[in-house]
Structure 1
């Protein structure tokens, strides 16, 4: 994507289903679990470059000994830093206690991060605080083992203010206005309730406190706790948690907005945010990895029993399509096919934009994540050329000459890598003029491929959010090749609305499509709509969220997609560009054809999957009108 945006967090949960000694005997290491956690997190590094954290819990530890271990780190190398820290501990033990270092029971008694349940998190912050305190996992500690709670997740809640009020009414006093706090404390509250109810129940039966603790750990109803906790949550979430005694869970929102995959055999249960990382780390086939159903929680009890239980009634599934277009790694079998399909489906629009002049067109892509959709576009263009040649040759009534045949068969699409991203260059200079000059050199280009004033360049990108990198860098660089025309193709539709479920796209003014619509309203004497929408949004503030509509749709209503695309081309066009410029966007219909199981398209269509989404988009518009450069929801 030319406009880099921060996005989804990632999780990795491992539950060892055998004693540590089993893995020592079979795999030759007592650190099997921690090694696999490292692999799962490193393979999901695309999901967390602000920070990371891990936590482990040991079973059946004697009182007075630690059984929860946690370590967090900041920065793009956080995963490596964390596991280097853990590895140093293991190496120190091996040097100091060479005999005991292979004794799994001794390790469990004496060394941290040797537990049976392991949880990892990769953080990609949106607009929240970027500090070590913001890194998951979060702990809620208590001297009662079964009241301890470890939580990490990939989530944003749209109704944090409402959830905070509910915590106040429960008698709590949260220290921050953040969805991480509300989630942790809400689950923690009902975990406490469940503990107390079970304590009272077994106390009435005459059990001692020590006996009661064991019975509580055995009988805690995890699904009940999650059902009560999530009753009023409005957002997209995959949340993993561990109770101190060993029960663990991963829960997924009722619309299936955020992804969650799992694999289980007789040795291990593993859950991650992306499917191929499980396939890679455990060498298992595609069909062995399952997806947690929306509104369900995958629950593994301390005794190893595993169930998938509903905690909220599922609604129409609206899994995030941006996961398929950009966020998730393209090594997933289905995502790879879908991204190719996105490129192929764009071909009719692309061919029309070049007037079907294949001979004088160079097809390329904007590095690096648009490469797969580029392959799909290549496939579509090649199919068109074959069909064109076949039709022309088979439908001639006269004999074709050798020269005509040579000319027809010489039609070969030109696919070239024109842009190369310079990963080493950092635009650290703060003065605007100097910094813009540096931005223009983030991409290098390939010379000698495009013919001066003859060829058209078609360059495909994943999506266009702000258009600033195109304007400040890519278009200027491509124009140096002296093409007749440049066609920028977006494999995603026009991004028109903010996200409120995890992606760093929450402010209206960041979207070039919104800027284009506002510009057109002013140009055509329709500026009154801008204020009318503001008034509707203002009036909706006190309206129950279930009754609120997305009034920002009215901004786009007067215009066709093509009109907005043409205005976007005008906005992102550098003042000194010589070539003709056109911008082509994916259609919503084709997006759904390419990604049939991921219908979450609210950033394109404005159709939010939860009631809170409409309140957020209206608040984002109000913030824009009032000149407030802030997000429209609370989060860390």
Structure 2
């Protein structure tokens, strides 16, 4: 993606199912779990560059000993390396070889040597970037079975509603954020379930310590999560560790956010991306399973592992942006889907260049669009084979099929070059706005001497276009210096028209270049009054229950074709004073679904939100735009 948007988060959970000395004997280290946690986080570092946090819990600790350890780090650039280096340097590097080989001693005397491990990579969509905003969050209690660690990849659209429920229960949450609200919500029902069991067993004459053992065994995590999540509206994967040793990972009923797991007799591992598990444990793709939407993977203290429903499953709407851009492309299915996204754009691209292979140069905007570009090139070669065949047949029928003619036809091939490269980050420390803008325009550079002046058309593949500012101020500006006749920017994703409210930092309607194009078209056609009418409809629904709210922005987009909006976008992203003509080609929503049939969450493209809260968010974003409020819609 040529533009940076903050998104998602990454989670990693490990439960060691064997005694610590088992790993010492088999793998030569009692830190097997910690090493695997580090590797899982490293392989998912694309999912969070604002900070990292880890936590561990020891099973069966002696009263009075520390059994929960947590560390977080928000150091720019080196957050992950620094966190683990600090742990190693302080707790493990000073140890003798004898101490390092004694797994029982290490568990009894050192932090971070536990059977339950939880890691989180933060890519904050809002709020400050401080230690306090880093997961895992900890809810502490002297009762071991009421301690709760929580980390997740989620955004909820109805935090206000959930927060008020906590207040109505008599709580005083320390802040109004989705993470704290969820922590306290689950924590409240954890307390309730523990108390229910304690009340049940107490009349039978058991001691409190004996009742604790019963609670460890009988605590119904499925029931707890069902009660706690009853009013959740959003996309989420939430991982929890309970002080005595139970663990869970719950996934939203639409499967918006991704979660995968692996389980054998040694270990249970959960991560946001499948290849991270494959690499960390060296296991086959078929051994890694996806957590079913609306289900929780529940790991009991005794080692029982079950995947159980905690809510009604809704229509599968897994985030398609995961497939287009966010997840790393080394997942087999994602790699093939991205290639297909590029392949499907071949026909409109060739039509746009008039099938002129001689005077067209194909390239991509580094680096995440490279896979889609490869798919596009494969499709172009397939089309070229058909073109060659038709030309040969035509020449044969006309009696002109001679050696020179055959050679000319067979020599037709696409010109593929790496033209646009991302240069070293330009530090914009200059205060003057104009000067800073000039520096930003040089983030990208070009390869000179490969384009025929005023003759060639450049086709540049990107994987999505959000705001269009990078295209206008940097990529197109610098590419125009190659003096092409025309520049065609191709997006493997459809037009981003609506805000996201499930984990991606796209909440301000006025920032989307597609929305700007829509507004321009309405103004140019003298239909600007329709914006005011849509605004009034949004205001009329503002205080309705979210289940009754309709998306009032869709009807505005329905007034124009995709091609009309793309044409206006091309005008918006065209820098002033450049000579080449600019054209923009987008993937269609139907094409997206064909390429990613099992991950068809497309609300940012179509406006079809999978939860009621989405419609409330899009209307709020539109109201903010009309009222000139520069603030988030949720």
TM-score by length of 1: 0.98
Q: Residue 7 of structure 1 aligns with which residue?
A: 7
Q: Residue 565 of structure 1 aligns with which residue?
A: 566
1:276-302 deviation per Cα after TM superposition (whole angstroms, max 9, x unaligned): 011111111111100000000000001
1:426 and 1:417 map into 2 onto residues whose CA distance is 25
The 8 Å contact of residues 602 and 608 in structure 1, kept in 2 or not, is answered as: yes
Q: Residue 208 of structure 2 aligns with which residue?
A: 209
The 8 Å contact of residues 29 and 100 in structure 2, kept in 1 or not, is answered as: no
SS of residue in 2 equivalent to 1:318: coil
Q: How does 1:306-321 map to 2 (within 5 A)?
A: 306-321=305-320
SS of residue in 2 equivalent to 1:293: coil
Q: How does 1:423-572 map to 2 (within 5 A)?
A: 423-572=424-573
The 8 Å contact of residues 49 and 77 in structure 1, kept in 2 or not, is answered as: no
Q: How does 1:107-146 map to 2 (within 5 A)?
A: 107-146=106-145
Q: How does 1:148-547 map to 2 (within 5 A)?
A: 148-395=147-394, 396-397=396-397, 398-547=399-548
2:348 and 2:434 map into 1 onto residues whose CA distance is 37
1:191 and 1:404 map into 2 onto residues whose CA distance is 79
Q: Residue 43 of structure 2 aligns with which residue?
A: 43
1:429 and 1:73 map into 2 onto residues whose CA distance is 29
2:225 and 2:6 map into 1 onto residues whose CA distance is 29
SS of residue in 1 equivalent to 2:214: helix
The 8 Å contact of residues 48 and 76 in structure 1, kept in 2 or not, is answered as: no
Q: Residue 30 of structure 2 aligns with which residue?
A: 30
SS of residue in 2 equivalent to 1:7: coil
After TM superposition, give the deviation of residue 100 of structure 1 in Å.
2.8
After TM superposition, give the deviation of residue 73 of structure 1 in Å.
0.4
1:233-269 deviation per Cα after TM superposition (whole angstroms, max 9, x unaligned): 0000000000000000000000000000001111100
1:30 and 1:15 map into 2 onto residues whose CA distance is 14
SS of residue in 1 equivalent to 2:188: helix
After TM superposition, give the deviation of residue 419 of structure 1 in Å.
1.0
After TM superposition, give the deviation of residue 92 of structure 1 in Å.
4.2
After TM superposition, give the deviation of residue 449 of structure 1 in Å.
0.9
1:16 and 1:583 map into 2 onto residues whose CA distance is 51
SS of residue in 1 equivalent to 2:155: strand
Q: Aligned in 2, Cα 1:428/1:331: closer, same or farther, shift over 3 Å?
A: farther
Q: Residue 65 of structure 1 aligns with which residue?
A: 65
The 8 Å contact of residues 471 and 572 in structure 1, kept in 2 or not, is answered as: yes
After TM superposition, give the deviation of residue 35 of structure 1 in Å.
0.3
SS of residue in 2 equivalent to 1:480: helix
Q: Residue 103 of structure 1 aligns with which residue?
A: 102
The 8 Å contact of residues 529 and 554 in structure 1, kept in 2 or not, is answered as: no
1:283 and 1:104 map into 2 onto residues whose CA distance is 24
After TM superposition, give the deviation of residue 344 of structure 1 in Å.
0.3
1:563-582 deviation per Cα after TM superposition (whole angstroms, max 9, x unaligned): 10000000110002110110
After TM superposition, give the deviation of residue 410 of structure 1 in Å.
1.5
The 8 Å contact of residues 54 and 120 in structure 2, kept in 1 or not, is answered as: yes
1:592 and 1:430 map into 2 onto residues whose CA distance is 45
SS of residue in 1 equivalent to 2:63: coil
Q: Residue 628 of structure 2 aligns with which residue?
A: 627
1:353 and 1:48 map into 2 onto residues whose CA distance is 38
SS of residue in 1 equivalent to 2:631: coil
1:189-233 deviation per Cα after TM superposition (whole angstroms, max 9, x unaligned): 000000100111110111011111111111110111100000000
After TM superposition, give the deviation of residue 20 of structure 1 in Å.
0.7
Larger CA deviation: 74-83 vs 242-251: 74-83
The 8 Å contact of residues 254 and 314 in structure 2, kept in 1 or not, is answered as: yes
SS of residue in 2 equivalent to 1:520: helix
The 8 Å contact of residues 234 and 252 in structure 2, kept in 1 or not, is answered as: yes
2:234 and 2:590 map into 1 onto residues whose CA distance is 25
Larger CA deviation: 418-427 vs 192-201: 418-427
1:481 and 1:399 map into 2 onto residues whose CA distance is 38
2:385 and 2:449 map into 1 onto residues whose CA distance is 27
1:432 and 1:468 map into 2 onto residues whose CA distance is 15
SS of residue in 2 equivalent to 1:94: coil
2:111 and 2:64 map into 1 onto residues whose CA distance is 14
2:68 and 2:630 map into 1 onto residues whose CA distance is 40
Runs of 4+ off more than 4 Å: none
After TM superposition, give the deviation of residue 93 of structure 1 in Å.
4.2
2:622 and 2:129 map into 1 onto residues whose CA distance is 26
1:27 and 1:605 map into 2 onto residues whose CA distance is 50
After TM superposition, give the deviation of residue 428 of structure 1 in Å.
3.8
The 8 Å contact of residues 461 and 491 in structure 1, kept in 2 or not, is answered as: yes
The 8 Å contact of residues 93 and 101 in structure 1, kept in 2 or not, is answered as: no
SS of residue in 1 equivalent to 2:367: coil
The CA RMSD over aligned residues, in Å, is 1.0
1:200 and 1:12 map into 2 onto residues whose CA distance is 35
After TM superposition, give the deviation of residue 138 of structure 1 in Å.
0.1
1:199 and 1:346 map into 2 onto residues whose CA distance is 62
Q: Aligned in 2, Cα 1:140/1:489: closer, same or farther, shift over 3 Å?
A: same
1:77 and 1:188 map into 2 onto residues whose CA distance is 33
2:430 and 2:304 map into 1 onto residues whose CA distance is 56
The 8 Å contact of residues 518 and 555 in structure 1, kept in 2 or not, is answered as: no
1:279 and 1:92 map into 2 onto residues whose CA distance is 29
1:402-437 deviation per Cα after TM superposition (whole angstroms, max 9, x unaligned): 332222111110111001111343334342211111
* Alignment gaps of 5+ in structure 2: none
Aligned residues between the structures: 631
1:253 and 1:497 map into 2 onto residues whose CA distance is 21
The 8 Å contact of residues 500 and 616 in structure 1, kept in 2 or not, is answered as: yes
SS of residue in 1 equivalent to 2:600: coil
1:418-476 deviation per Cα after TM superposition (whole angstroms, max 9, x unaligned): 01111343334342211111112111111111111111000000100000011111001
1:93 and 1:623 map into 2 onto residues whose CA distance is 56
The 8 Å contact of residues 361 and 457 in structure 1, kept in 2 or not, is answered as: yes
Q: Residue 589 of structure 1 aligns with which residue?
A: 590
The 8 Å contact of residues 462 and 491 in structure 1, kept in 2 or not, is answered as: yes
